[in-house]
Amino acid sequence: WDIKHTTDLNVPVDVAWKALVDLKSWEKWNLWTVLDAPEAKKGTSGKLRACYEGNDADWQTFDFQFADVSSEKHLLAWRGSVLGGLLFSGQHHMRLMELEGGESCRLEHVEVFGGLLPMLGLGLPYKKLDRSYLLMNEALKKHLEG
């Protein structure tokens, strides 16, 4: 049930990075996932709100913690688990890579699931999540490129 999408953004990597770590702005462009935390900093915990349909209804809330936030690697990573990962774990990251010429970048958006529930295909609507992450990438692209 792992998910991976890549999207090319026609903005410099630093512009895209500022948008990724500006958690307050996510609600403006992202209909599927909102990270509610005081700051994007390794070790900081918060609440992840997810709306699988992107319709601003039926939001679900999960605990998460930033696993890595690196402006050098342009990496924003977070994780969550239930029962220490035995029942469920999710390792999520969004990484930006500068493309040749420096005027554009590539967004790599990945989530790796573990635990008993994903192994059985239970716990989350994985097909909807896959679609949501792609739409999330496209929404960030539209937000950044105008």
For 5-16, how does the pLDDT look when each residue is reduced to its tens digit (9 = 90+)?
Answer: 999 999 999 999
Question: What average pLDDT score do residues 18-47 get?
Answer: 95
Indicate the pLDDT class of residue 63, thresholds 50, 70 and 90. very high
Residue 97 pLDDT: 98
d(CA 23, CA 33): 11
* Residue 146: pLDDT band with limits 50, 70, 90: confident
Rounded CA-CA distance 120/4 in Å is 20
Q: pLDDT digits over 110-126, tens only?
A: 999 999 999 999 999 99
pTM over 0.85: yes
* pLDDT score recorded for residue 1: 77
| % of the chain surpassing 70 pLDDT | 100
On average, the pLDDT of the chain sits at 95
Does residue 127 sit in helix, strand or coil? helix
Give me the mean pLDDT over the 103-109 stretch: 98
Distance (Å, rounded) from C-alpha 47 to C-alpha 63? 5
Confidence band (pLDDT; 50, 70, 90) for 57? confident
Distance CA 55, CA 65 (A): 25
Average pLDDT over residues 12-30: 96
Sheet of strand 3-9, all strands in order from the earlier edge strand to the far edge: 3-9, 105-114, 88-98, 75-82, 60-70, 45-50, 33-36
In the numeric block, which tokens belong to residue 146?
Answer: 């105008």
Q: Which among 9, 27, 14 is positioned nearest to 107, based on CA atoms?
A: 9
Dist. CA 134–CA 108, nearest whole Å = 10
76 — pLDDT class (breaks 50, 70, 90): very high
Give pLDDT, residue 56.
82
Q: Which of 3, 82, 80, 90 is nearest to 37 (CA)?
A: 80
Closest CA to 50 of 73, 71, 78: 78
Query: 33-36 and 105-114: which strand pairing?
Result: unpaired
